[in-house]
Each structure stands twice: as C-alpha cells, then as structure tokens.
Chain A
Amino acid sequence: MSDAPSAPGALPAAHMEPGHGDHGNGHGDGHGHGDHAVAELPHASARDYAIGFVASVILTAIPFWLVMSGTFSAAVTGGIITVFAVVQIVVHMVYFLHMSPKAEGGWSLSSLVFTVIVVVIMLAGSLWVMSHLNANMMPGGHIGEAAQLP
C-alpha cells in the first residue's frame, strides 16, 4: 500500500504523471487541494495485484472444492464459504480497489462504512421479517414447496 508520509489534510500523495514517482510532497496549505494541476489518482503496485490475485484464487478455489466434493455437511460448508466470501471481498477492496483509511482523505472509507451498515440492516431485516411472515402466515409453520403453488 502507499506508505507516503501524509501532511495534515493532504490527499493521498500519489501522482500519476509518467516518470514522476516521488511520493509525499506535502502541501501544508491546510486545504489539501488547490494548487494541483492534475487530480491525484490512487497508486497501484504490481505487488498489490499479485497478492490480491493469489489470495483470490485460493479463496475462490477452496469454496468451490468444498461444495463440489461435499466433504462437510451442508451447514458447516455454508458457514465456511460465507467466511471465505467475506474475506475475499476484503482482499478485493484492499488490493484491487486500493481502499485504505487514507484514501480520499478518509471519505471513501466513511462512505463505505455507511453503505455496509445500510446493506446489513436491509439484508438482515428483509430476511428476518419475511421469514417471520412465512412462518406466521402458513398453518403449521414451515411446510414444503407444495403450499406455495399458485
């Protein structure tokens, strides 16, 4: 990841003009922007992509193998592949999308945290409420697919 020393209020210092690789020319104007001809883009490194790719291949292959081979019971496999998916999403965020607490002065991360909170509330709430509706509307609780025939 970018390890450039960041001046207070500075955007992540990574210029992308070709052949202009010096990091961290801090601008102490307290605004962080204002005297830049070129907007600053996140800096990518070959090492980041290599780590991200290898980790993703492993984190994808293992869930597929677990499900196709049926080594564990369905419940255990479901739990494991959920954990693998969450880890792989974090790997993609960090190594491919260059997410870090310093990206865009922290605004990327705060908007991401807000989105994740909304998504979790919505997903968990929808599944919870609708499963309760199903349980309460049907005589005898959970019954099979035949009850849902039109």
Chain B
Amino acid sequence: MTTIATSAGIVSDQPQNPEDAPPSFYDLEEHAHPEGYSTMLGFWIYLMSDCLIFAILFACYGVLGGNLAAGPGPRDLFELPLIALNTAMLLFSSMTYGFAMLSMQRGNVRGTQAWLLVTGLFGLCFLGIELYEFSHLIHIGAGPQRSAFLSAFFTLVGTHGLHVTFGIVWLVTLVVQLGRKGLIPANQRRVACLSMFWHFLDVIWIGVFTVVYLMGMLR
C-alpha cells in the first residue's frame, strides 16, 4: 500500500523515512491556498441549495395548484403573450451577461460595465412586467389569499422575482466596484459568481414558465 500511495504522490510531502512514518492517505497539514480558490465551487453549492428551495416551492405548487376554491384558474388569469415577452427579457439578459463575461476575459472594464448595465436593464424590464402582472391579479381580486393555487403561485413566482431583484442589486454593486477597482482578481471572481447566479435564475424560469404558465393553460 505504501508504494502505491507514494507513486500517486499522496505522501510525497512526508519525511523521507518511509519505515518510520505510517502511510498517509490524506493531507494532514494545511497548505497555502490562493485567495478565493474555492469560491466558485462554494457558490455553486449555494446555488444547489437554492435549487432545493425552488424544488420545495414547485412541489407546493404541484400539490396545491388544483385547489382553486371556486376562484379563478390559470386559464382565466394568465396572458401568454405577456409571459412570452417576460421570458424573452430574461433570455436576452442571459445573452448580454455572456457578452459581459467575454468583455471581462478581454480585460475590457468599460465593456464589462456596459454589458452588465444592459443586463440589469433587461432584468428591470422582467421585474416591471412581473410586477404589472401581480398588481393586475391583485386588482381583479386574484391575490395570494384567494385560493391555495394563488398562494402557491405568488410564493413560487414571487420568490423567483425576489432573486432577480437581489441579482440586480448585486449587479449595480459590481458595476460600482468595477469602476473603483477595475478588473482585479476579486472582482473577476464576483462577476463570474453573479454570472452563475443570473444564468441559474434563467434555468429556474424555464421551470416556472413551463410548469406554471404553459401547463396551467393546458388544464
């Protein structure tokens, strides 16, 4: 076993007296890590936990979505052209965030900031349309307290909208930080993390428009 471990380089840091030292199969000593070396993986794991939150909300919607309490159903409430427009906004914002990432890789601070702001504008359009839809629903008496279906709907879609809101706050913060510090490694890391967050929200939205809106119109 010792020879195998040595050839794999696992015990190469150990003192050179193999008969004294017991074979070691893992790192016992802390060795230096570059700053932020695990940030991307850590942020990915956060996104996975966020994914569980949305899975719970989707499950709630799936269970409660048919309980209309004799109130209005998806067919009476949803306007697919509006939802298609909303989906397009989020998809465009994903694309423009891609341009921001490409600008960053070329070392172009102004380009990165500009594309981030365009992404933020698309995000604001998305939020505006969603808030218009929510206010319209509440205005016609289809608020979250009307039925279990509407409670689950507002919770699921609202949580997604809240994520987009915080994504925009983060985005504006990053634009300011890029203006002050430029493309330092820490800022590159932050832009890459927000990229994951933003594209992740688009992935969740695929589930929302398919399960809530399109499936709702089919019922």
Residues of A near any B CB (own CB < 8 A): 16-19, 29-31, 33-34, 36-46, 48-49, 52-53, 56-57, 60, 63-64, 67-68, 74, 77-78, 81-82, 84-85, 88-89, 92-93, 96-97, 104, 107-108, 111-112, 114-115, 118-119, 122-123, 126-127, 130, 145-146, 148-150
Contacts and interface: CB of A to CB of B under 8 A. Distances in A.
B41 interface: yes
Interface string B60-84: 0011001111100000000010011
A14 to B, nearest CB: 9
Given A30-B10, A122-B56, A53 B210 contact: no
Contact of B101 (A31, A44, A107, A149): A44
Given A97-B199, A145-B69, A16 B104 contact: yes
Nearest to A46: B102
B67 A148 contact: yes
A104 B40 CA distance: 8
Interface of B: 8-10, 12, 27, 31-41, 44-45, 48, 51-52, 55-56, 58-59, 62-63, 66-70, 80, 83-84, 87-88, 91, 94-95, 98-99, 101-102, 104-107, 183, 185, 188-189, 192, 195-196, 199-200, 202-203, 206-207, 209-211, 214-215, 217-219
Nearest to B48: A115
A150 B199 CA distance: 41
The dominant DSSP class at the B interface is: helix
A93 B94 CA distance: 12
